[in-house]
Homo-oligomer: A and B are copies of this chain.
């Protein structure tokens, strides 16, 4: 428990000074909500009151970006406190509530070697933020805002001493704006949220089989014919880049090539490896259209286009994608195969490396460095490229051993609906790494990837947040900050702050549920029942949804699987409740058994209402019928198990087998979602039949035994 350790340390410090009970009281109550957790932090006694007299003064360097950041922070502080502060900055550094001592501006273009260090000292009388650059101010102000607390005496920042800097310099979020178009406001609000959790790279996946999303003035046919009119103009992109720069965030553009390039070929079929014609792809998957690396016209267009993009995007890096080219169209083209022979390129992989070298020349000519997915790794490529690994830590580490810098994305695919703790415990440099210290420096960080097959502008926030805040902590905080319970406690608080800053992950949930209610929507009870139901449902994980729903780019994303969200907090709470009842010293407690049975009765009622009246009136929920029946049934099973356990009657093996089989069926995904409260009920059922064992076991042995017996079979 990282957080508790710190409190313990500060307690020891306190006792050595004062050692009285009042301070003990004061300091132990400080469980903070910081995310990411700073690299060092020590709470001290005291608090800085936040009142209408709140002012900020700057000592040392000042510039427009710094002042805008202070203004944004003050407006947020006003919104959260309801207080009105005087406009503008104070000139009085002695009396200002917050003093910022800044040495310099930071890079004019946000850079991977930016100094993001800050130190924040808060006492009863003042907060002082000391930073080498404006980037540090941006990071430190977010920490300051996260520290805001309140009680009956008003709002305050607890006295604290923080020295902080990131573990990794490349902390990104990739947004795929191509498969489903994501307009300006999606990027802007997500940049705000990224800044709040100290992410510093927005990677935009700008071209795909399904869409070409950036205006080219040299080749306007690319976006005109490849985007259904849904693309960023260059003016808009400059606005995004500036918005990001103001928040200390880089914008890295990706133009995926030579594969994933159908949308380019709609206007330029002559650049493809087969004659075409090509149309914007509407389905999901890996497709065969691919640029023809043997065609000099390809490089001519890339030279013009990438030159134009190099001027538009100020970042040092351009991402060329490079992933998932299966080479079928290359195999089917004798001219291309002859080219491979003639040039001694061995195979398609060699041809792609040839293509990459040619693209690299263009990038270098334009002063840019190359980044691409694992597939770009090839002995022929120089060492100054960066590899983004979708394959995993091992692939990344192998790259580092060969001298290639890299970032990790495997394990951070937030589109795959895994719970936050899995992403959180996934480390770009795991504890058991075999890399040398020198090699470890090549691991620059990581990126969460928001692929957009299954998200619309209405739902994308609910897939990105709050889980990406946990990933942001992984990239920023020390490796040993990994207490999952504490992460979830803080994540809940940060999630609501992000909601207050304009994210829609909470706000659209209600709207999605109301839509599911269909004609019953004005009945608040119905919407409440649907919420109870969807609260314990998650979309299916991994790539399963594509196998369950036959969807295209045109499919509306307004169904049950779109309303349901990853990482159900309700299911986590339920699992904890069952754990406490089943495995604590006074397990099977009778009075809490009553609560549990009521809980199951309520779920059963929910399932019954959905199955009955609600589905009858709301065709959008028809697909939920088997799930509603499952919920009805598993609630019954859970209540029976609790009854067995609390009354001390041992359930028969027959009863156990029957009900485990029913639970197994209920655990199967339906309608591209799954009920995520089955596992604790499975434990209840097994415990009901095995309860005699507990008499001869410690609580720990008992827990271990049941958990092992209940463990889901590997699929």
Contacts and interface: CB of A to CB of B under 8 A. Distances in A.
User: Is chain A's interface secondary structure helix, strand, loop, or mixed overall?
Assistant: helix
Nearest to A620: B82
A554 B83 contact: no
Contacts of A75: 556
B522 A492 contact: yes
Nearest to A523: B492
Given A515-B79, A556-B78, A151 B619 contact: yes
A622 B552 CA distance: 51
Given A79-B556, A617-B150, A510 B511 contact: no
Interface in A250-301: none
Contacts of A556: 75, 78-79, 81-84
A302 B522 CA distance: 50
A479 to B, nearest CB: 26
A522 B494 CA distance: 9
A522 B507 contact: no
Contacts of A551: 84
A378 interface: no
Nearest to A503: B511
Contact of A82 (B80, B185, B492, B558): B558
Contact of A499 (B492, B511, B518): B511
A496 interface: yes
The residue in A149, A185, A558, A618 that gathers the most chain B C-beta atoms within 10 A of its C-beta is A558
B552 A154 contact: no
Contacts of A343: none
Interface string A505-538: 0111011001100110110000000000000000
Interface in A543-557: 551-552, 554-556
Interface string A63-98: 000000000000100111111100100000000000
A506 B510 contact: yes
Given A149-B519, A155-B619, A496-B522, A84 B511 contact: no
Nearest to A84: B555
Interface residues of A, number: 50
Contact of A510 (B78, B510, B615): B510
B619 A154 contact: yes
Contacts of A109: none
A103 to B, nearest CB: 29
Interface in A374-413: none
Interface string A600-628: 00000000000000011111101000000
A167 interface: no
Contacts of A558: 78-80, 82
A87 B615 CA distance: 29
A493 interface: yes
Contacts of A150: 518-519, 617-620
A620 B81 contact: yes
A617 B149 CA distance: 9
A152 interface: yes
A618 B82 CA distance: 11
A559 interface: yes
A619 B81 contact: yes
Contact of A552 (B80, B84, B499): B84
Nearest to A500: B515
Contacts of A622: 152, 154
A68 to B, nearest CB: 11
A80 B500 contact: no
A507 B509 CA distance: 9
A489 B155 CA distance: 42
Contacts of A554: 78, 84, 87
Contacts of A155: 619
Nearest to A623: B82
Contacts of A504: 507
A499 B517 CA distance: 13
Contact of A559 (B82, B489, B500, B559): B82
Contacts of A153: 619
Nearest to A514: B496
Interface string A552-572: 101110110000000000000
25 contacts: A75-B556, A79-B558, A81-B556, A82-B559, A82-B620, A84-B551, A84-B552, A150-B519, A150-B618, A150-B620, A152-B616, A152-B619, A489-B522, A492-B522, A495-B522, A496-B514, A499-B511, A499-B514, A500-B511, A500-B515, A504-B507, A506-B510, A507-B507, A507-B508, A507-B511
Given A80-B620, A82-B620, A500-B511, 6 more contacts: A150-B618, A151-B617, A151-B619, A155-B619, A507-B508, A510-B510
List the 8 shortest-distance A-B pairs measured between CB atoms, nearest first: A492-B522, A507-B507, A78-B556, A150-B619, A152-B616, A496-B521, A82-B559, A79-B558
